[in-house]
Chain A
Amino acid sequence: MSQSNEILVRVRDADKVFRRGSEEIHVLSGLNLEVPKGEFLALMGPSGSGKSTLLNLIGGLDRATRGTVEIGGERIDSMSDRQLAGWRARHIGLVFQFYNLLPVLTAERNVELPLLLTHLSKGERRQHVEAALKVVNLSHRARHYPRTLSGGEQQRTGIARAIVTDPTLLLCDEPTGDLDRKSGDEILSLLQALNREQGKTIIMVTHDPHASARATRTVHLDKGQLVTEPAP
């Protein structure tokens, strides 16, 4: 499936300022970004360039000091914390560098977590979990706890958790940053397949040019500003 011209993510004049004592740190400065639906976008840049902060703003995990963030036509910067939590549950799939699986839950229970926020019955949730685990090719490890899974398997569990609710947008923060090359490649192939075959819009933060090469577009950030953004 290819990308459409419909803009899914629109960030306008976004500033993000952190305060450390009396010092102000400008992490993002007047940043503008548009991401069309169906795109696989890589955000690259050196440490401290603001790429993770930008990802957090788009995911509703943090708020811009100034500017607007619009996802699928909804202004998330004006939502309350409670509204944002519900919005994230419906629209965002998150993939973390360190997987962020709950150690006390099996892989399938971890994948089921976002579904607990929906009104699906237990049987429906099971079907969704099985489908998601099948997509990431991890059905045979469903009842394993994270500590018994390899890094690659844990990340695939994390991806299954991210896609189980069929979100509008997948946000991946250094998804291969903690993996060896082979496992990293598997994860990137999986993300690529999700983008190509299921039309998932993906924004991925990465340091790795090898990873960004898998994306349909790469933008670079430096000192809180986009250095290059080829037209979508």
Chain B
Amino acid sequence: MTQLINWFSQVLAVSLFNFRSLPMRAGSSAAAAVGIAGVVAVLVGFLSIAEGFRKAVISSGADDIALVLRSGADSEMSSGLDRDDVRVIADAPGVARQLDGPLASAELFVIIDLPKRSTHTSANVPLRGVEKAAISVRGNLKVIQGRAFEPGKNEVMVGAGAARAFSGLDLGRKIRVGQNDWDVVGIFTAGGGLAESEIWTDAAVLQPAYNRGSSFQSVYAKLSSAGAFTAFKDSLTADPRLKVKVLRQSEYLAEQSTSVTGFIRSIGVFIAALMALGALFGALNTMYSAVSARTREIATLRALGFGAGPVVVSVMFESLGLALMGGAFGAVGAYFAFNGFQASTMNWQTFSQVAFAFTVTPSLLINAIVWAAIIGLLGGLFPAMRAARLPIAAALRET
């Protein structure tokens, strides 16, 4: 025990000398720290895109909202349900009810082209035809400007994210859908969720505009509780009249975000890994120089009786300290640069643009700091070993 305390006090003492001598090596130390800050900033930047996208896609997903698609459909785009299916689904057990009927909305999902505000190039925007129960089914939908569309009219209300990202979606403007012009009568929010990237209108008006007859693509049903899902699902999948797939909205949205978030994360990690390699060499170089510049000091400490172990650990501490300083700098910088930055990108599973805000979360920052720490430790390891292996007698005479 006493030996251990002695060992730690040696580590502390040598580490203290190392840190106190940092100003003498300010240039190379700062360069290594900045390299690591860059890695962290890029990693945080990319992961915040993936996180923001994921959050936008799944944040509106609730466990007590069920989504019914045709069996085998991957998304609403590839699904199709007819009027009879919709009636059976709305009457299934577990669906919450209001005075005027079940809380279920049969919906259409089509894609229209609109120019992006940022690039003026056209991009896909989802246009959703809904029934009047849709707002009650979603629960978190709030009209913040104008009003909701009126059933039976060529009117749309626009999600706040879509209104920000695309031109022509301001309140009072008209958009061209099929052969007709549609009035933008309202802007809504949906708790930052995916619906904010959509344009909503009356399904009954959208069906003839797109020659869909009486068919729909999905049914959104508000359940009496999250626990009612199993009964609801079992009743529909066991019904011989239906060939449907039943999902919780939360599951569906999580599934819809996986390929995009996975792709963005992969790119982020790949680029950060390349940069990390560069930063690692920077840290190695810095620490080799630090050890080389202090060869005589290290040898003096060893000659006085300081052990090789404490010297190794102290050099690694210094490297780790520099890396963590760089990492913290990069993380704070990335937070202020990226967090809340508004953007939109294509969700390949729905072929539509999703508006989202870059989201820097605490776990993401911790993740990036762990990267910095690994770079620091690896960067310090070999120089530390060199320091420990210095032949004391020869190193004492180094100038």
Using CB atoms and an 8 Å cutoff, list the residues of chain A in contact with chain B: 52-53, 56, 59, 61-62, 81-82, 85-90, 94, 96, 98, 100, 102-105, 113-114, 116-117, 119, 161
**B67 part of interface (Cβ distance < 8 Å):** no
- A56→B304 CA distance, assembly (Å): 13
Q: Say yes or no: B307 contacts A85, CB within 8 Å.
A: yes
Q: Please indicate the chain B residues that have their CB under 8 angstroms from the CB of A96 in the complex.
A: 300, 396
Q: Is the interface of A mostly helix, strand, loop or mixed?
A: helix
- A1→B148 CA distance, assembly (Å): 105
CB distance from A28 to the nearest CB of B (A): 13
Closest partner residue, chain A, to B388 (CB atom): A81
Q: Which 10 A-B pairs have the closest CB atoms?
A: A89-B305, A100-B300, A104-B20, A56-B393, A62-B393, A61-B393, A88-B305, A116-B13, A104-B21, A61-B392
Q: Please indicate the chain A residues that have their CB under 8 angstroms from the CB of B305 in the complex.
A: 85-90, 114, 117
Interface string of B7-19 (1 = CB under 8 A from A): 0011001000100
CB distance from A16 to the nearest CB of B (A): 10
**B297 part of interface (Cβ distance < 8 Å):** yes
CB distance from A226 to the nearest CB of B (A): 20
Closest partner residue, chain A, to B18 (CB atom): A104
Q: Say yes or no: B296 contacts A100, CB within 8 Å.
A: yes
Q: Please indicate the chain B residues that have their CB under 8 angstroms from the CB of A90 in the complex.
A: 305
Q: Please indicate the chain A residues that have their CB under 8 angstroms from the CB of B17 in the complex.
A: 102, 104-105
Closest partner residue, chain A, to B301 (CB atom): A113
- A105→B13 CA distance, assembly (Å): 11
Q: Say yes or no: A103 contacts B306, CB within 8 Å.
A: no
Q: Say yes or no: A98 contacts B2, CB within 8 Å.
A: no
A-B contact count (CB 8 A): 70
21 contacts between A and B (CB under 8 A): A56-B393, A61-B393, A82-B307, A85-B305, A86-B305, A86-B307, A88-B304, A90-B305, A96-B300, A96-B396, A98-B397, A100-B296, A100-B396, A102-B300, A103-B21, A103-B24, A113-B304, A114-B304, A116-B10, A117-B10, A119-B6
- A202→B368 CA distance, assembly (Å): 56
Q: Please indicate the chain B residues that have their CB under 8 angstroms from the CB of A94 in the complex.
A: 303-304
Q: Say yes or no: B303 contacts A88, CB within 8 Å.
A: yes
Q: Please indicate the chain B residues that have their CB under 8 angstroms from the CB of A102 in the complex.
A: 17, 297, 300-301
Within 8 A of A (CB), among B137-190: none
Closest partner residue, chain A, to B14 (CB atom): A116
**B81 part of interface (Cβ distance < 8 Å):** no
**B248 part of interface (Cβ distance < 8 Å):** no
Q: Which of A62, A105, A114 contacts B392 (CB 8 A)?
A: A62
**B308 part of interface (Cβ distance < 8 Å):** yes
Q: Please indicate the chain A residues that have their CB under 8 angstroms from the CB of B98 in the complex.
A: none
Q: Please indicate the chain B residues that have their CB under 8 angstroms from the CB of A100 in the complex.
A: 296-297, 300, 303, 396
- A22→B302 CA distance, assembly (Å): 29
